[in-house]
Amino acid sequence: MTDTITKAKRTISTLSISIGYQTLKNDFARFEVSKITGKQITDACNAIGISNVPLDAEYYTTSWDNYKEIVETGYDIIKNFKWLEDKHDCENRSSEMSQFCSRTALLNTCAQLYCEVKTANGSTFMHWANCVVDSNANMYIVDCDNNCTMQKITSRNFTIGTWTYSLVHIRIG
């Protein structure tokens, strides 16, 4: 009997998640989506001195204002699953944000961004965040591990709050 109840709870949970994603997808369908080329993405990366790993033939994006709303919604979900070293840490959370944007808004331009971070206390670590490429080929950092910090990227090295980022590459697609 317990096994049957557990399976029923799992089914209800799965359906709830699926309905939630479909509801968000229907809501985000109001946003205008545009295509940008891999060359535009490579040029934007080259302009700030980082490499990119393109995975798709075509890239779909939207305006920064629209993307910001999508990302904030994704963060509202991701922040409920706390950071756990080696189990649910930066690379998992950045992957979740990329997948959220793809799953709910059909955008493949929320990339995983690999960087080195230096903190105010002098510690240094390698880190995964996200890089959103908007419809104007502008790039923005989105960091779920730094309170969903969002900022336009204009150079390879920059500071947000007490973290100094040095960008290495993006994995997009």
pLDDT in tens, 100-141: 999 999 999 999 999 999 999 999 999 999 999 999 999 999
* CA separation for the pair 12, 43 (Å, rounded): 46
Quote the pLDDT of residue 54.
Answer: 77
Q: Which residues contact 88 (CB under 8 A, 6 or more apart)?
A: 81, 82
Quote the pLDDT of residue 160.
Answer: 94
Quote the pLDDT of residue 57.
Answer: 84
**Quick check: helix, strand or coil at residue 118?**
strand
What are the tokens at 25?
Answer: 């997808």
Ranges of residues in the chain whose predicted pLDDT is under 70: 1
Quote the pLDDT of residue 149.
Answer: 92
Which domains are delineated in the chain? Answer: 31-172 (3.30.460.70)
Quote the pLDDT of residue 61.
Answer: 98
